[in-house]
């Protein structure tokens, strides 16, 4: 009932999580509403520690990392990563794979020296050299707008800084070369307002002196993310969503689901005899954001209109990329995916 949203901007929350949140808005753990839970309370400290512990378990995070709760979205991290990690003279290498990695590089370049690399540059015998030392390599693990995803994190001579906003907890990651991971909460962890930053201890202590105190990773780590009022409600929703993921079987279960669903969508596109045109080749296809176009592009508005009539919303591509896009987040219900697969067939049958 009510149809299904496929927007890339926000991930749906499973009904169990919505119920848990709704209940806690009235009363939580025998106290008052979670909406006005004071951040200085013992109850919030517990909530925060449980949330951090769930994240550490689900990600398989080794010791030696801080889990920070910030605000400002992944977009703020585009600037905060160089301001925190580079000191006054370091350089950052950025892998250019699509819309969001370019946004990250453009913002970082306002604050630091940025070397841009193609995604295959690391395979070359001599990676590019720089006069100021490169402190880390930034990459966007899943290009939300382009439907392009690193099948696994690349090996790199520098610590990896990974924007995982759109595929966090949809697949396992190898933490071996991981220096820092960041993600907005609204796709994988619940609602807007919380930005997750996970940073390796040895990268701390290099912030530019002018950096606002509440945005300083080292100060946040020392204050357990309570330098000032954190996004309490968004952390509560993340806690509930992480509990749900654990009950489903953790990241391995999420990864199997994402692989199965994206495979079904790509299969439908690939076997359409060219009616549907997947935008990315098989090696780099996203398991979260299948992007495609119609061979007959003029039919795109009709596709979207009929999809809406069938209760399938927000299938339009990112405005800078165009075409059509499906989002398959952890919370996307099974019914949404089957309704979409039927619609793809039906639309081709009537317009092919």
Q: Which residues of the shown chain bind ligand PMP in the complex (CB under 6 A)?
A: 73-75, 100, 140, 144, 163, 165-166, 184
- The one catalytic residue in 100, 148, 150, 244 is 100
- Closest residue (Cβ) to ligand PMP? 73
Between the alpha carbon of residue 74 and those of residues 42, 62, 147, 166, the distances in Å are 28, 23, 18, 10
163 is in an annotated binding site: yes
We find the least distance from the C-beta atom of residue 349 to ligand PMP, in angstroms, to be 33
We find the least distance from the C-beta atom of residue 82 to ligand PMP, in angstroms, to be 15
Residue 100 designated active-site: yes
Residues in contact with 63: Cβ distance below 8 Å, sequence separation at least 6, in sequence order:
none
Judged by beta carbon, residue 214 or residue 339, the one nearer ligand PMP is 214
For residues 156-177, one letter each, b for 16 or more C-beta atoms within 10 angstroms of the residue's C-beta and e for the rest, the string is bebbbbbbbbbbbbbbebebeb
We find the least distance from the C-beta atom of residue 145 to ligand PMP, in angstroms, to be 7
Judged by beta carbon, residue 24 or residue 67, the one nearer ligand PMP is 67
74 is in an annotated binding site: yes
216 is in an annotated binding site: no
Of the candidates 161, 166, 162, 163, the one whose C-alpha atom is nearest the C-alpha of residue 188 is 166
We find the least distance from the C-beta atom of residue 168 to ligand PMP, in angstroms, to be 10
- In degrees, rounded to 5, the angle at the alpha carbon of residue 163 between the alpha carbons of residues 261 and 106 is 125
Residue 198's DSSP bridge partners are 67, 181
Q: What is the largest CA-CA distance in the chain?
A: 62
Judged by beta carbon, residue 76 or residue 219, the one nearer ligand PMP is 76
Judged by beta carbon, residue 73 or residue 82, the one nearer ligand PMP is 73
Residue 174 designated active-site: no
186 is in an annotated binding site: yes
- The one catalytic residue in 148, 187, 244, 314 is 187
Between the alpha carbon of residue 62 and those of residues 177, 200, 233, 304, the distances in Å are 11, 10, 27, 45
144 is in an annotated binding site: yes
Q: How many CB atoms lie within 10 A of CB 304?
A: 16
CB 159 within 8 A of CB 184: no
- The one catalytic residue in 146, 148, 163, 244 is 163
229 is in an annotated binding site: yes
We find the least distance from the C-beta atom of residue 268 to ligand PMP, in angstroms, to be 24
The Cα 243–Cα 317 span in angstroms is 31
Judged by beta carbon, residue 75 or residue 306, the one nearer ligand PMP is 75
68: helix, coil or strand?
A: strand
142 is in an annotated binding site: no
Q: Residues at the annotated binding site?
A: 74-75, 100, 144, 163, 186, 228-229
Q: Residues at the annotated binding site for pyridoxal 5'-phosphate?
A: 74-75, 100, 144, 163, 186, 228-229
The residues annotated with a catalytic role in the active site are 100, 163, 187
């Amino acid at each position: 009932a009510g149809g299904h949203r496929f927007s890339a901007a926000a991930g749906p929350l499973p009904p169990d999580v919505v119920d848990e949140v709704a209940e806690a808005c009235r009363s939580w753990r025998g106290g008052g509403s979670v909406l006005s839970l004071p951040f200085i309370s013992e109850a919030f400290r517990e909530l925060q520690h449980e949330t951090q512990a769930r994240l550490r378990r689900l990600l398989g995070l080794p010791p030696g990392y801080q889990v920070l709760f910030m605000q400002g979205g992944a977009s703020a991290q585009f600037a905060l990563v160089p301001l925190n990690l580079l000191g006054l003279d370091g350089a950052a290498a950025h892998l250019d794979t699509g819309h969001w990695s370019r946004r990250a590089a453009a913002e970082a370049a306002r604050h630091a020296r940025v070397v841009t690399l193609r995604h295959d540059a690391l395979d070359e015998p001599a990676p590019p050299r720089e006069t100021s030392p490169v402190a880390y390599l930034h990459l966007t693990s899943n290009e939300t707008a382009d439907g392009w995803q690193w099948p696994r994190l690349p090996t790199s001579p520098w610590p990896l800084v990974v924007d995982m906003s759109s595929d966090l907890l949809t697949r396992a990651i190898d933490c071996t070369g991981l220096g820092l991971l960041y993600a907005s909460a609204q796709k994988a962890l619940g609602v807007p307002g919380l930005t997750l930053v996970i940073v390796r201890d040895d990268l701390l202590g290099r912030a530019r002196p002018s950096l606002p105190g509440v945005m300083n990773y080292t100060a946040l780590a020392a204050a357990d993310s309570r330098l000032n009022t954190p996004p309490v409600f968004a952390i509560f929703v993340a806690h509930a969503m992480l509990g749900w993921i654990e009950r489903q079987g953790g990241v391995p279960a999420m990864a199997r689901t994402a692989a199965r669903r994206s495979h079904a969508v790509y299969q439908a596109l690939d076997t359409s005899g060219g009616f549907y045109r997947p935008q990315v080749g098989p090696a780099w296809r996203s398991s979260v954001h299948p992007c495609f176009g119609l061979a007959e592009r003029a039919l795109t508005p009709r596709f979207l209109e009929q999809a809406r009539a069938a209760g399938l919303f927000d299938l339009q591509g990112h405005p800078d990329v165009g075409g059509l896009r499906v989002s398959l987040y952890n919370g996307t219900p099974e019914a949404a995916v089957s309704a979409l697969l039927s619609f793809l067939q039906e639309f081709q049958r009537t317009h092919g």
